Structure 1
Amino acid sequence: MSRFKKLSHAIWHCQYHIVWVPKYRFRILTGRVAEEVARCIRTFSEQQKAEVIELNVQIDHVHLLVMVPPKVAISDFVGTVKGRTAIRVFNKFRELKQKPYRGNHFWARGYCVDTVGLDAEKIRAYVLYQERREKRAEQLKLDV
């Protein structure tokens, strides 16, 4: 089984490690709130055809390792997941609206994202291998 996924005109393996925090880094991601946040992240990721590889909801931040299709911009993906999760959590846990969230924002602005892929050395070696292979093929054409 290949680690690549397929679209009609592309094969892909776009894996991201994303981290974000609640507003003011309040330590509120516990118990039922954390369970609801995790459930929402999985649901909204699936709706965008993304695959959650790992999800860890800590007391004051979220770690998400996810494969996102190349046709979905990562900023759109994160915006959708954070925005829709915030709406769902505020609707389910109305007592959180009593907390000092300016403008009813559940999450802090921004996020951290890092791509997860092949080892850079492996990619470099592969590129060099392809270059040598291409030169050999050209040389064989000249020898004929």
Structure 2
Amino acid sequence: MQVNNDVRTRRHCVFNLHVHLVFVTKYRRDVFSGRVLIDLEEIFKNVCLDFEAELVEFNGEHDHIHLLVNYPPKIAISNLVNSLKGVSSRLIRKKNYPEIKNKLWGNMLWSRSYFAGSCGGAPLSIIKQYIEQQQRPH
């Protein structure tokens, strides 16, 4: 796979797809410390590599995290999210962080919901205008 100015190529397609993901902890509990966020970032990078995606940006606060992921078109966002949340929950709980263990019980780190927003590229109004200006044959 080649990377050139954020445009990635495959055998039969050229793409530049980004998604902004937000995951919230179960019950919106304040459980993330700086140490946990560092570990989460590394876990997310590795999961993205397994999907041939790239974690472009990562940050978070005590009860939620934000990810910006560049991904190939063959990936369903829901599959990527399920893997990111499942693997990170399992590996973070395995490390036995007391701040998490004391505030969350069971095997749940994340809320079942998430936010996914497409981003990058030109604004929709510009793309719409470009499509409208195509020379349609009569």
> Above 0.5 in TM-score?
yes
- Correspondence 1:33 to 2:36: yes
Residue segments in structure 2 that go unaligned for 5+ positions in a row: none
User: By how many angstroms is 1:43 displaced?
Assistant: 1.4
Q: Which of structure 1's runs of 4+ aligned residues deviate more than 6 A?
A: none
Counterpart in 1 of 2:107?
Answer: 104
Aligned pairs for 1:36-47 within 5 A? 36-47=39-50
Structure with the largest fraction of helix: 1
Q: One-letter code of the match for 1:86?
A: S
Counterpart in 1 of 2:56?
Answer: 53
Query: C-alpha distance in 2, partners of 1:71/1:57?
Result: 28
User: By how many angstroms is 1:2 displaced?
Assistant: 3.9
On the 8 A contact 2:31/2:100 being kept in 1, the answer is no
TM-score calculated relative to the size of structure 1: 0.83
Counterpart in 2 of 1:80?
Answer: 83
Residue segments in structure 1 that go unaligned for 5+ positions in a row: 139-144
- Correspondence 1:119 to 2:123: yes
On the 8 A contact 1:29/1:59 being kept in 2, the answer is yes
Structure with the largest fraction of strand: 2
TM-score calculated relative to the size of structure 2: 0.86
Which is higher, the Rg of structure 1 or of structure 2? 1
On the 8 A contact 1:34/1:57 being kept in 2, the answer is yes
RMSD: 1.8
Query: C-alpha distance in 1, partners of 2:91/2:111?
Result: 16
